[in-house]
Amino acid sequence: MEITGCRILVTGAGGFIGSHLSDRLAANNELVLVDDFSVGCRENLAAIAELPGVNVIQADIRDGEKMLELCRGIDVVFHLATSCLRTSLGAPTLSHDTNAGGTLNLCLGAREGGVGRFVYCSSSEVYGTAEIAPMSEQHPLRPTTVYGASKLAGELYALSFWRTYGLPVSVVRPFNTYGPREPWEGARAEVIPRFLLQLQAAEPPLIFGDGTQTRDFTYVDDTVTGLIGAAGCDDLVGDVVNVARGHEVSITRIAELLAQSLGVPEIAPVYGQARPGDVARHFGDVEKARRLFDYQADIDLEMGLARTIEWFREHPSASGGNSGASAPNW
């Protein structure tokens, strides 16, 4: 399936990954961009919101009737709206209602609306901690948090609609996406921007746990490439695929690289109590994506961090105020 000249619905379009995906799709498609803007922001869509064929709609995916209405006449759904991992620690019901219940609503709407391709953006958190590395799509599914469990429930709902109703579903499991527009404040604050802001304020990066935990950090442009590639791959219908850089790096090493890039290598991280449910190791196997749709992550970690730092420097509103060293990160 060619992802061009399509009418595309993107949920979570005002969020981090969703806005970058929407930017990429806007050149050759008609877009319906949906977000409740509880976390995502309209500013992330400013570059495309006024383009012909782009319609930004404020709506909640927990509203089943609205999702049915929005799915009518849609060729492709990219379902990215989610309640994040850290939110799930204090509000597990919200995580369930949004990630599992919201996905069921989208599936019902997509089936009724005759959607031609449904791409569910899941998460590497469905695996839990790596038992075998690198982690292929056959790795055991043992999520450690309600977030991971609710994302897995969304996968199962989506794939059941393929098996029962023939809805053409593809599931993508991204690993640890980072880059410009990544959340930097509040409960959704991610580790790279959080460390960056702490270091810019001459504060030591706060690591929860011993820092040996690893992640497969993937630059947002590469994640978007994977999502679009998966959407266009007919052989992936009814199946799941990883999207990652295919390398692991420790959280302590991330802090060191950022300190070096900012010219403050003398600022060493400090360590706090481990976060509940934190996974010890993530390292994605991307052979399946390479084989099925020639996927390759083009941005290495050093280049991705440099681009991220540059973006934060160009957007002072993302760098001002209290660095929030006590905010959770991973």
Per-residue model confidence as pLDDT tens digits over 103-122: 999 999 999 999 999 999 99
**Can you list the positions of beta strands (E) in 212-286?**
214-215, 218-219, 239-243, 249-250, 270-272
Letter for the amino acid at 139?
H
Q: Which residues of 57-75 are buried (b: 16+ CB within 10 A; e: fewer)?
A: eebbbbeeebbbebbeebb
pLDDT of residue 312: 93
Collapsing DSSP states into helix, strand and coil, what is residue 69? helix
Question: What's the CATH number where 108 sits?
Answer: 3.40.50.720
What CATH number is attached to the domain comprising 201? Answer: 3.90.25.10
Would you list the DSSP string of 53-65?
A: TEEEEE--TT-HH
The predicted pLDDT at position 68 comes to 97
| Together in a domain, 263 and 189 | yes
Residues 148 and 256 in one domain: no
Residue 327 within a domain:
no
% of residues, the chain, pLDDT over 90: 89
Q: Residue 209's CB: how many other CB atoms inside 10 A?
A: 16
CA distances from 207 to 55, 107, 170, 190, 293 (A): 40, 38, 35, 12, 37
**What percentage of the chain's residues is helix, strand, coil (to nearest 5)?**
40, 15, 45
pTM of the full predicted structure? 0.94
Helix-helix angle 146-165:102-113, to 10 degrees: 20
pLDDT tens digits, one per residue of 3-54:
999 999 999 999 999 999 999 999 999 999 999 999 899 999 999 999 999 9
Given a contact cutoff of 8 angstroms between Cβ atoms, the answer to whether 11 and 77 are in contact is: yes
The answer on pLDDT for 260 being more than 90 is yes
Placement of tokens 């270091």 in the chain: 199
Note whether residue 15 is domain-resident: yes
- Catalytic residue annotation: 147
Element (H, E) at 142: none
Q: Which position has the token pair 């959407």?
A: 231
Residue 258 lies in a domain: yes
| pLDDT score of 268 more than 50 | yes
Over the stretch 120-168, which tens digit does the pLDDT of each residue have?
A: 999 999 999 999 999 999 999 999 999 999 999 999 999 999 999 999 9
- Check residue 41 and give its pLDDT: 94
Residues 31 and 80: their CA atoms lie apart, in Å, by 14
Angle at 118 between CA 167 and CA 98, to 5 degrees: 105
Across all residues in the chain, what is the average pLDDT?
94
Under 8 Å CB-to-CB from 31, ≥6 apart: which residues?
Answer: 8, 9, 10, 13, 22, 25, 48, 53, 54, 55
Mean of the pLDDT values across residues 86-94? 86
| Same-domain check for residues 210 and 146 | no
Residues 63 and 121 in one domain: yes
User: Distance between alpha carbon 29 and the CA centroid of its chain, in Å?
Assistant: 22
Say whether 220 sits in a helix, a strand or coil: helix
Round to whole Å and give the CA distance between 192 and 329.
9
| Domain assignment present for 290 | no
pLDDT at 88: 80
Q: 294 — alpha (psi -120 to 50), left (phi > 0) or beta?
A: left
Q: What's the number of CA atoms in the CB half-sphere (13 Å) around residue 174?
A: 26
Q: Would you state the pLDDT for residue 187?
A: 65
CA neighbours closer than 13 Å in the CB half-sphere of residue 11: 33
Q: For residue 96, give the DSSP letter.
A: I
Domain residues for 188? 181-216+247-284+300-318
- CB atoms under 10 Å from CB of 2, counted, come to 8
CA dist., res. 299 & res. 277, Å (int): 29
Residue 326: inside a domain: no
3-class secondary structure, 10: strand
Confidence of residue 320 (pLDDT cuts 50, 70, 90): very low
147/275 same-domain check? no
User: pLDDT digits over 164-189, tens only?
Assistant: 999 999 999 999 999 999 988 766 77
- Considering the domain architecture, whether residues 279 and 167 belong to the same structural domain is answered as no
The predicted structure's pLDDT at residue 318: 66
Count of the separate structural domains present in the chain: 2
Asked whether residue 170 falls in the same domain as residue 210, the answer is no
Confidence at residue 326, expressed as pLDDT on a 0 to 100 scale: 25
